[in-house]
Amino acid sequence: MEETFPQKIYQLVKTIPSGKVATYGQLALLAGSPRASRIVGAALAKAPAGLPCHRVLYRDGSLCCQQAFGGKEVQRRLLEKEGVLFLPDGRVNLRQCLWQPADNPWNP
DNA sequence: CCGTTGACCCTTC
DNA sequence: AGAAGGGCCAACG
């Protein structure tokens, strides 16, 4: 079965547990292309509803464009409700909430 | 077939 | 320390 990259990204995003956040680079790395972070964003841009794309942030922990999700304030509220901690700077505390996949099926 | 685009990341000034 | 630019990979026309 051939799954396109975006398709694979959807699967990974669905795997993100609540209270945790992942970065585009992280998803790209799990997808098999650590440099294809842009493809991850493009994939989420066309991703259908139902995907916790609000749990995907930048490498710095900052949220992506506010136009996405329908409003960055909404995303912050959702993440806070999930249990994600935010810093006074408006960024997410990746120190505590960054999703750390313990077992990668593709990575030895 | 080749060129263009994209919810990014990293290096350098 | 902050800001700017380029590079990478994959999908679509």
Specify the range with the lowest mean pLDDT, choosing from A9-13, A19-23, A100-104.
A100-104
Sign of torsion over alpha carbons A45, A49, A51, A53: positive
Q: Which nucleotide is nearest to A5 (CA to C1')?
A: C10
**pLDDT, position A94:** 92
A62 touches strand B (CB under 7 A): no
**pLDDT, position A77:** 85
**pLDDT, position A108:** 47
What is the distance between the alpha carbons of residues A102 and A34, in angstroms, rounded to a whole number? 17
Structure tokens at A91: 């960024």
Specify the range with the lowest mean pLDDT, choosing from A10-14, A35-39, A52-56, A101-105.
A101-105
pTM for this predicted structure = 0.89
A25 touches strand B (CB under 7 A): yes
Q: Which nucleotide is nearest to A43 (CA to C1')?
A: B7
**pLDDT, position A25:** 94
Per-residue model confidence as pLDDT tens digits over A38-93: 999 999 999 998 999 999 999 999 887 666 676 667 788 889 999 999 998 888 99
What mean pLDDT is predicted for residues A90-97? 91
Reply yes or no on whether the pLDDT at A107 is more than 60.
no
